[in-house]
Chains A and B, each alone.
Chain A
Amino acid sequence: MKSWALALCAVLSVETSGPSLFSDSVTHVLLRHMMRGVSAAGPGDWVSYRADAGGGRVSFWRFSVVGTEKDSLGRDSLWIEIELGQDRDLRAPLVQIRLLVVRDTGLSNEGIARLFVALGADKPHEVSPEQLGRILQSVPNPPARSIATGGETIRSRPETRLMTQAGILPAVPIEIYQEGSLLQRIWMSYRLPLLHLAKLEMPAIGHVMEVIGFGTDAQPRMVLPDPAELKARPESKLRSTAPAR
């Protein structure tokens, strides 16, 4: 499988039938939230996170809405950029992805209409519709069930004020217990765009993901291929790619 396909699967493969390396990671829960749709997001929304997996293993994520467009079927869609890197400012991301996501469907394998990928220092390129279709078919959709199954218990606590690196936020803690043990504590805040996720804690393994910034002034940052190289999709109305916030 090509490297870009691996990266896409890494983003989308959040719910598998058996145990996986992602099954206990902060990413697992974060991306599960994304699958629920981006209908409330608007152009300019952005949110960034710091993920700490312990032992100095720190990574930074940024999600931003950088444009709107209708997909080839006429559905309202959003251009979403996802960046992942080692540096808080994401000066040189290790992964850059730009997705055209159907607003009502969300980040699922039915909701991705177009995809640009850049891995490391490779030149960004668009994944052809044929390749995208093949890859998305191989990614299982999350089952339409509550996460509270198989011995899991969910407890929602009253809203409180949560101190984060992005400031003090009103947040609702949601705790997930597995056979009596606290598995995850997810702090959801209506103040945050896109994922509404303020903090994610996995006490048993010491993993933490916390919001470090958010706003409404996102601009496209990913350098896309020259339009002359885009042989397909002349209806594309991508914004300028000048680096911005």
Chain B
Amino acid sequence: MSGLGVAILFGATVIARVPDEVLAYPNTVQIQIGDELVIGGEYFRIAYFTTPDSVSAVAEHFFQTWKKMGLPTMVDGHPEDEMVVSAFYTREGLQRSIVLKQWKGKTIGFAAVRDLWVRADASPKEMFSPADGVVWLQNVESRDGAARMYHQTALIEDKLGAVADRIKGQLAAAGYSLAQEKWLSRQGARQLTLEHTRGGQRVVTHLVEIDVGATAIVQTCDDCVGDSGGAEQMRSRAGGG
């Protein structure tokens, strides 16, 4: 108990007052990538910029600027490899990060805003939702205007045929028809591609038997509808940045 209190009380440093927001690195154009990105249920907004300045110079700029704004700020990485600078907006529940990478004499910076409060809990019902046997599962959803793309990668502890049957059953229940089923064998591993359609919507599923009893899945859905309420909340708290 006391350790926390003491850390809170005495771990601080003097910080000046600079209320202005920082949206972009000086003399660069920040280009947004899509509208929103949902990775593993967390909302992100991502943009990038390039500059001839060094990784360490750019990292120092953001670290000092955010620190002067009074934000808890941290920096990690190595100047010759990759550096990450993060600031935490504790009132708004947002994290702003800059990921910096040296590439062909330039520094590429990825600026991300991450929502720490709101999660997209509901996946589109078209996406495979295994009840058991999940070794690993990752969802990525990108939204750009009216276009939406939902990707899911998973490793399921089950045979390829059994997983494929479960996917077919789930999509059939969602009103999809099987448009194409293609079997392949590459380097001794069985692969299956399924294409399901419903009106203008399309779900493509690649299944690979990577080991006896284990199946890897990459599933993509165009224009699937997931939970979008969180994105609205994030936009309102993140403002224009």
Q: Which residues of A contact B (CB under 8 A)?
A: 1, 3, 6-7, 9-10, 13, 20-22, 25, 27, 51, 53, 56-60, 84-96, 118, 120-123, 221-223, 243
B8 touches A84 (CB 8 A): yes
**A contact face: mostly helix, strand, loop, or mixed:** loop
Q: Which of A7, A88, A96, A221 interacts with B17 by CB under 8 Å?
A: A88
Knowing A92-B71, A121-B90 are in contact, say whether A27-B9 is a contact too (CB < 8 A). yes
A16, closest chain B residue (CB): B2
B206-236: which residues lie under 8 A (CB-CB) from chain A? Answer: none
B91 touches A10 (CB 8 A): no
Contact with A along B83-117 (1 / 0, CB 8 A): 00001111111110000000000000000000011
At the interface, yes or no: B122 with Cβ under 8 Å from chain A?
Answer: no
Q: Which of A21, A85, A96 interacts with B5 by CB under 8 Å?
A: A21
B13 touches A9 (CB 8 A): no
B4 touches A92 (CB 8 A): no
B178 to chain A, nearest CB (A): 40
- List the B side residues contacting A7 at CB < 8 Å: 4-5, 8
Q: Which of B1, B9, B91, B92 interacts with A59 by CB under 8 Å?
A: B9
Q: Which of A91, A120, A221 interacts with B70 by CB under 8 Å?
A: A91
B10 to chain A, nearest CB (A): 4
- List the B side residues contacting A94 at CB < 8 Å: 8, 72, 90
- List the A side residues contacting B5 at CB < 8 Å: 6-7, 9-10, 13, 21-22, 27
B116, closest chain A residue (CB): A121
- List the B side residues contacting A25 at CB < 8 Å: 6, 9-10
B163 to chain A, nearest CB (A): 36
B6, closest chain A residue (CB): A21
A90 touches B9 (CB 8 A): no
B66, closest chain A residue (CB): A92
B13 touches A86 (CB 8 A): yes
B1-52: which residues lie under 8 A (CB-CB) from chain A? Answer: 1-6, 8-15, 17, 19
- List the B side residues contacting A88 at CB < 8 Å: 15, 17, 70
Complexed CA–CA distance, A122 and B115 (Å): 11
B interface residues, tally (CB under 8 Å): 31
- List the A side residues contacting B10 at CB < 8 Å: 25, 53, 57, 59
At the interface, yes or no: B120 with Cβ under 8 Å from chain A?
Answer: no
At the interface, yes or no: B75 with Cβ under 8 Å from chain A?
Answer: no
A186 to chain B, nearest CB (A): 18
Q: Which residues of B contact A (CB under 8 A)?
A: 1-6, 8-15, 17, 19, 69-72, 87-95, 116-117
A57, closest chain B residue (CB): B10
B62 to chain A, nearest CB (A): 15
Q: Which of A27, A92, A123 interacts with B116 by CB under 8 Å?
A: A123
B119 to chain A, nearest CB (A): 10
A87 touches B15 (CB 8 A): yes
Complexed CA–CA distance, A89 and B17 (Å): 7
B88 touches A57 (CB 8 A): no
Shortest 9 CB-CB distances between A and B: which pairs? A87-B70, A10-B5, A21-B2, A91-B70, A86-B12, A57-B10, A123-B117, A59-B12, A92-B90
B14 touches A223 (CB 8 A): no
Complexed CA–CA distance, A89 and B19 (Å): 9
